[in-house]
Amino acid sequence: MGLTTLADTVLRQIETVQDTVNETLFEPVIRVGVTGLARSGKTVFITSLIANLLDRGRMPHLVAAAEGRIEAAFLQPQPDDTLPRFDFETHLSQLTARQPVWPDSTRAVSELRLSLRVRRAGLLAGLQGPRTLHIDIVDYPGEWLLDLALLEKDYTTWSAEVLARLADRPEAEAFRAQVVETDPAAALEEPTAKALAEAFTGYLQAARVSGYYDCTPGRFLLPGDLAGSPVLTFAPLPGAAPGPRKSLIREMARRFEAYKREVVRPFFRDHFARIDRQVVLVDALGAIHKGPRAVEDMRGAMADILGAFRPGQNAFLTQLFQGKRVEKILFAATKADHLHHRQHPRVTAIMEALVRGAVDRARFAGAETVALAIASLRATTEDTMSHEGQQIDVVRGTLLDSGKQAAFYPGALPEDPAKLLAPAKAGAESWLDQDYRVMNFAPSPLTLRPGDGPPHIRLDKAAQFLLGDRL
């Protein structure tokens, strides 16, 4: 499918709906979850993955595509009536416009169904006709997974932990000042509750910008359609809940419980527990650039996120999953086009080290895992330049801010990931040997040959890991 024929595809897909409705009931479905913290690259990943599954010219490592066994790929209407559809067409047209732009950031869960008609491999090929596999791709914020930890806590414990954590963070100054002024046992007044919740949300947003990832409750940052509702109008307070009747703290504790019941649990029940295979995207280079604290924080967030894939740990999840499990987890360091490919094995090694503990546990729980350095949409080209008598490997691209062409060298990542992770764990303020830079590149204008999807790095390997065994 060339990009110009997008409209045709939409028509074609509507025609095929009628024919497939009956068959669909018997056709296999794989649900692939795509998660990661905000700006880790979920939207670009899903858009490019779908475009490259529709047009498979750049997917040599997807075996079924390389063998020519994928006879057709088409988008289908949304199978879940209550979930927003992943807006593939808009995102793709943004990435492939004459003046391409990165897609708008999305703030909630969405889903899309892609179906592949595949000829069987090997001996069965001649005996049976092609079969159809439906791939439901679900995009959801990693922040929502972090909320799992809240289920195990009551309001008093949660408040004590959060207040201890923010005690020495400058981002929390305004919120701390309000807490000092507040008497938790005083009668509830809605304006006070609202002001506290707003100050707390302000702190979470500032903490996020500074590179902290421990920013739960997740919906305070990504409220979606819950913005302003009572389940999001609470904040941690010192002292023991429940406190006196009709007091501020009692109502805060009640809303905290409502948040767990009405927001966190339904997400895990309706979305998370149905996932067969999971992609976890990490902007590892971005965290390295922010410094050791951001790396350590991200490691912690990854451990928490991955805790959700080990149902045995959590009574609520164990009950939800009932023995079903996530079969495969792909950990992908995104935006690898910021680095020359000679450095890619090092990012992969850092990624593997970042998630090692969690991966060991996931393996133990039966999931197959892999770490890859990928770029969903390659925005740079590689080059080697001489600088002060040395040859350095750079990437070239168009800067997002100025629109100027630039050659970029982010710094040499260490061969041994411990050189980054150990100082991060030990609480170092900055990297010892050097700084790491990142740059925001604009997507490059594309001229795609018919049959080719957008340029990427290792998206085909990612697809092979996620889907290959079922194609």
Ligand X SMILES: Nc1nc2c(ncn2[C@@H]2O[C@H](COP(=O)(O)OP(=O)(O)O)[C@@H](O)[C@H]2O)c(=O)[nH]1
Among 150, 441, 455, 465, the residue binding ligand X under the rule CB under 6 A is 441
Q: Cis omega (within 30 of 0) on the bond before 217?
A: yes
Fill in the per-residue mask, 324 to 343: x = in contact with ligand X (CB under 6 A), - = not in contact: ----------xx-xx-----
Among 43, 110, 334, 343, the residue binding Mg ion under the rule CB under 5 A is 43
202: enclosing H helix or E strand: helix 190-209
Residue 33 within binding range of ligand X, rule CB under 6 A:
no
Residue 91 within binding range of Mg ion, rule CB under 5 A:
no
Which among 369, 364, 361, 362 is positioned nearest to 328, based on CA atoms?
Answer: 369
Q: Which stretch binds ligand X (CB under 6 A): 31-39, 126-134, 180-188, 348-356?
A: 31-39
Angle between helices 418-425 and 292-307 (to 10 degrees): 90
CB closer to ligand X, 430 vs 440: 440
Among 3, 31, 42, 367, the residue binding ligand X under the rule CB under 6 A is 42
3-state secondary structure 223-264: CHHHCCCHHHCCCCCCCCCCCCCCEHHHHHHHHHHHHHHHHH
Among 12, 39, 117, 419, the residue binding ligand X under the rule CB under 6 A is 39
Q: Which residue is nearest to ligand X (CB)?
A: 102
Among 32, 44, 306, 308, the residue binding ligand X under the rule CB under 6 A is 44
Residue 90 within binding range of ligand X, rule CB under 6 A:
no
Residue 42 within binding range of Mg ion, rule CB under 5 A:
yes
Question: Helices then strands (H, E): number in the chain?
Answer: 18, 10
Among 106, 115, 247, 334, the residue binding Mg ion under the rule CB under 5 A is 106
Among 33, 41, 223, 454, the residue binding ligand X under the rule CB under 6 A is 41
**Calpha distance 286→289 (Å, rounded):** 5
Residue 105 within binding range of ligand X, rule CB under 6 A:
yes
Q: Cis omega (within 30 of 0) on the bond before 242?
A: yes
Backbone angles phi, psi at 317, to 5 degrees: -70, -40
Question: What's 429's DSSP letter?
Answer: S
Upper half-sphere CA count for residue 459 (Cβ side, 13 Å) = 29
Q: Which stretch binds ligand X (CB under 6 A): 103-111, 201-209, 352-360, 458-466?
A: 103-111
Give the other-Cβ count within 10 Å of 162's Cβ: 21
CB closer to ligand X, 38 vs 359: 38
Angle between helices 459-467 and 42-54 (to 10 degrees): 80
Residues at the site binding ligand X, with contacts judged by CB under 6 A: 36, 38-44, 102-103, 105-106, 334-335, 337-338, 375-377, 379, 440-441
Residues at the site binding Mg ion, with contacts judged by CB under 5 A: 42-43, 106
